[in-house]
Every structure is written in structure tokens, then in C-alpha cells.
């Protein structure tokens, strides 16, 4: 029996790794897509490779696309990554770590690959609750993307448009931790930190680390990720 | 006085060159974007550079994005470019020269740059009449893209979404020729052919050449492009 193909956006973080594991458990033949977009933490691409290997996905493409040609953001440029933000303030505005149109670009690349593969499903780890205030993680954005994608492609014209699946959309970080663990995912191989050390150790103080640590704490399990000594 | 900024997708063909000239005439500070996506006719990127230089645009970015990682199409791979298609058959179906999700990817890159520049306008030379049957040139597609883009970005959240402008959308090729000439555009520096010779001479027989030649004929002016000897 041939499994239906799906393209899964895989950053190497805990959300996209969980999403890839979900896609696989739901019976999809996973084709994982990562993008080397000029992020200063190449550590996350190593994590994406580890996750793809561990899950044994069919194919993992790492695409080069240097978004630094357009200017910078904290994730691609030289601005400092905010640290120790109070939890109540995370998600209150659009943070400096927002990369312009990143999910739109990544979904569009996934759409191209899906059309080439004749895949009807694209998975993204977007999360609307603990979402750090990015506009392109909101449910209404993903719905609008799906409506556009249905008109954009050969499949959309000839019947059978692509579905944009965001299974973590309305989950808390602790629910994501529990779902990932239930699927047997080793979160120790994922990388969430916006500002990791060269050896991959997480800072424990950026918004991504703070949300992750809170998620593990609420789930009542230890985070297997390595953190920098100053944090531990 | 500071002109409003616009990002213009510039392939180097006659439609995008005319679109860039229109954006400039409408008073925009043009930022031109071309993509080296693995097209086998690098000739069109040379044309894009000539057009950007001739118009004197503020900035021209040529972004590298190798779509061959996803598989091929006639424009990026080894499949033969169809030649001598009867005019009545052009646009009747989606041709093999269709590149999956290309306009969606290009618009998404333009969206990222526009957000970085704080530009509110993106211009694309999409054309729905002589459009060769590409799904991502249709007005309903562009409308859906604009609705998605309004939700995708910081500008969309904070008020003042990006506008997707396709001034050639409902024009015939001959109308595009006339408008371009009225704006002083030298069509001799543009490259339309899907299968040009290494020296840039157009084949005169692919669908893009056939539509272009018909446009010039209907406009009653000679096409200043160079064509291969077999055609002339």
C-alpha cells in the first residue's frame, strides 16, 4: 500500500518535530522541508537533520534562501535577542525576533514541493496560544493561506487542493510536550533556543526557551535539552 | 519629497519590464526583485539587470533560490519546451512550462522585502488574457493572495496592509506593447523566450515568443528583440 505523501515544515524546534511525528503517526509518507534562510543559529538545522533521521522520513530537503538580502531581524541579523522577558509580556506585541513573511515564504516553498510530489497535505507547527505574537501563526492567517493555495496550483485548478494542517494550532506548550512524548519523540534532539551557544546548548532566557521551559514544567516532566551553564 | 516605495517582481520579460515602468511612472520608488530559481535561461536575468539599470531603479536584488531541489519543469529541468503550438491552443490547459507555485513563492519573497522596506505596494506583471494557462496568473488567485498577505504581516496587524498590483491583468499583449512604448520602454532589452540561444537570441517558436510576436504584430510595430536565424 502506498501512503499518501505530505510535506512537513521542519525547523528542528519542538513544535515542528512534534508535527512531523504526528504526520507520520497519521499515516503520511513524510517529506520534510527545512530552510537555511540566514538564521544565525545554524544549530537548528542540525536539530532538523537529527529529527528527520530519527523519524526516518522519506526525504529531507534543506533549501538555501538567504533572506539577509532584504535586511535583518534578530533571527537573521545583528540585533540582540531579548532575554528574560516576563511571561505575561510574551505575545503582547510583535517581537523583534519576528522574521518578515517567514511562514508565508516557507508555506509557499512547501506548496511548490507538494505540487511536484502530487502531495495534498502540508503540515506546519504553527501555534496560536504560545505564539510569541507572530502574525503569521494565527488561525485566520492559515485559513487565508489555504484559500489562496487552492487557487494557486495545478491541483487547485484540476480538483483536490492542498490542505494546510496545523495540528498544534490551539494547543498549549505543555499539551505539545505531552503529545510529543506520547508519540515517542525525544525532545533532547530538538533545538528551540533563539540564541544557542556554538555547541548547541540553549540559553534558557530567550522567549522561545522561556515558553519551552514553562511547557515542560506544566507537563511535569524534565526538559532533556542541554542548557548553558549560566542557566543550569 | 520622499516617494512611496514599491517592490516590483522583475523577470526581464516584456510584461514585468512594462510593469516596472508603470510603477515608476505612477510615482513609486521602485525596488526590483528577480529570482535565480534554477531557470535554464539565465538570459532572462541578464535582461532583468538591463531593465533595472535602464529604468534607474533604486535597488535591484537578485535572490538565489534553487527550485530544482523539488524536481523539474520545462523551465528548470530537462523536458523540451513546446514549440509551434497553434495560437488557439495556447492557454487551453496548464502547459509543461508551468513552474509549481512560482508566483506564490515570488510574491512571498516580495512580501518579505516590502515589510522590511515598509513598502505598501507590490507590483507583478501577471496577465490573465494571454496568460498561457498558468493558474497563478488569474485575478481570483491574486485577490486571494492579497487577502492572505493582509493577515501575514506586521503591517497587516498594525493597519495598512500591502496591496498586490497587477496593472497588466486584463490587457492583451498588444495593449502591453503600446503602453510600454508610450512609457519609453525599449523592448529590445527584454527577454521573453522560454528557450533562448546562449547569446540571448529568442527562438521565435515557444509559446512565450508566439504570444509576444502576435502582440507586436497586432500593435503594428516591429519587435526589436533578436531572434535566431532559423526564425528570421
Radius of gyration of chain A (CA): 17
Grid cell in block for residue A115:
505540487
Query: Looking at this predicted complex, what is its ipTM?
Result: 0.87
Q: Does B108 touch chain A (CB under 8 A)?
A: yes
* pLDDT for the residue numbered B217: 96
**Which chain A positions have a beta carbon within 8 Å of B66's beta carbon?**
63-64
Residue B61 burial by Cβ neighbours in a 10 Å radius (0-12, 13-18, 19+): middle
Residue B232 in this model has a pLDDT that exceeds 60: no
| Average pLDDT score over residue span B49-58 | 95
Residue B213 in this model has a pLDDT that exceeds 60: yes
Return left, alpha or beta for A159; rule: phi > 0 is left, psi -120 to 50 is alpha, else beta: left
Q: Does B102 touch chain A (CB under 8 A)?
A: yes
| Average pLDDT score over residue span A67-92 | 71
State the best of B148, B156, B158, B162 to mutate against chain A, taking most chain A CBs within 10 Å. Answer: B148
Grid cell in block for residue B48:
532583468
Q: Does B113 touch chain A (CB under 8 A)?
A: yes
N-to-C CA span, chain A: 48
Q: Does B3 touch chain A (CB under 8 A)?
A: no
Grid-cell match 517529506, residue found:
A31
Q: Does A100 touch chain B (CB under 8 A)?
A: yes
Give the list of residues 6+ apart from residue B89 with CB closer than 8 angstroms, or none.
Answer: none
pTM assigned to the model: 0.90
Which of the pair, A231 or A104, is modelled with greater confidence?
A104
* pLDDT for the residue numbered A157: 58
pLDDT band at A48 (very low <50, low <70, confident <90, very high): very high
Q: Are the beta carbons of A223 and A212 closer than 8 angstroms?
A: yes
- Tell me how close the Cα of A218 comes to any Cα of chain B, in angstroms: 30
Report CB contact under 8 Å: B152, A101: yes
Q: Are the beta carbons of B168 and B185 closer than 8 angstroms?
A: no
Which of the pair, B95 or B67, is modelled with greater confidence?
B67
pLDDT band at A79 (very low <50, low <70, confident <90, very high): low
DSSP states of B40-62? S-THHHHHHHHHHHHHT-SEEEE
Q: Which of B108, B140, B156 sits opposite A151 (nearest CB)?
A: B140
Radius of gyration of chain B (CA): 17
Q: Does A199 touch chain B (CB under 8 A)?
A: no
- Tell me how close the Cα of A213 comes to any Cα of chain B, in angstroms: 27
Q: Which of A65, A67, A108 sits opposite B101 (nearest CB)?
A: A108
* pLDDT for the residue numbered B43: 87
DSSP states of B140-169? HHHHHHHHHHHHHSHHHHHS-PPEEE-TTT
Report CB contact under 8 Å: A112, B67: yes
Q: How far is CA A179 from CA A25, A126, A139, in A?
A: 11, 15, 20
> Which domains are assigned to chain B?
5-219 (3.40.50.620)
**Which chain B positions have a beta carbon within 8 Å of A162's beta carbon?**
none
* pLDDT for the residue numbered A174: 95
- Tell me how close the Cα of B59 comes to any Cα of chain A, in angstroms: 11
Residue A31 in this model has a pLDDT that exceeds 60: yes
Give the list of residues 6+ apart from residue B17 with CB closer than 8 angstroms, or none.
Answer: B10, B47, B51, B125, B180, B185, B187, B189, B190
Percent of chain A past pLDDT 70, that is, above it, reads 86
| CA dist., res. A87 & res. A214, Å (int) | 9
Amino acid at each position: 500500500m502506498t501512503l499518501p505523501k505530505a510535506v512537513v515544515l521542519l525547523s528542528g524546534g519542538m513544535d515542528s518535530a512534534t508535527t512531523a511525528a504526528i504526520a507520520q503517526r497519521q499515516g503520511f509518507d513524510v517529506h520534510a522541508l527545512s530552510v537555511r534562510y540566514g538564521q544565525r543559529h545554524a544549530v537548528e538545522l542540525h536539530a532538523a537533520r537529527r529529527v528527520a533521521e530519527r523519524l526516518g522520513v522519506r526525504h529531507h530537503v534543506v533549501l538555501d534562501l538567504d533572506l539577509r538580502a532584504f535586511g535583518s531581524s534578530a533571527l537573521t541579523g545583528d540585533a540582540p535577542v531579548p532575554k528574560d522577558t516576563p511571561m505575561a509580556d510574551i505575545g503582547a506585541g510583535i517581537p523583534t525576533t519576528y522574521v518578515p513573511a517567514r511562514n508565508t515564504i516557507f508555506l509557499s516553498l512547501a506548496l511548490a514541493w507538494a505540487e511536484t510530489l502530487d502531495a495534498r497535505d502540508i503540515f506546519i507547527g504553527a501555534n496560536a496560544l504560545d505564539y510569541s505574537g507572530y502574525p503569521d501563526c494565527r488561525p485566520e492567517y492559515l485559513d487565508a493561506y489555504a484559500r489562496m493555495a487552492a487557487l494557486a496550483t495545478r491541483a487547485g485548478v484540476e480538483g483536490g487542493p492542498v490542505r494546510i494542517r496545523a495540528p498544534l494550532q490551539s494547543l498549549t506548550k505543555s499539551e505539545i510536550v505531552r503529545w510529543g512524548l506520547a508519540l515517542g519523540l525525544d525532545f533532547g534532539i530538538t533545538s528551540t533556543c533563539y540564541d544557542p551557544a556554538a555547541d548547541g546548548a540553549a540559553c534558557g532566557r530567550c522567549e522561545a526557551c522561556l515558553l519551552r521551559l514553562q511547557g515542560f514544567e506544566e507537563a511535569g516532566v524534565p526538559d532533556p535539552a542541554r542548557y548553558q551553564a549560566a542557566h543550569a
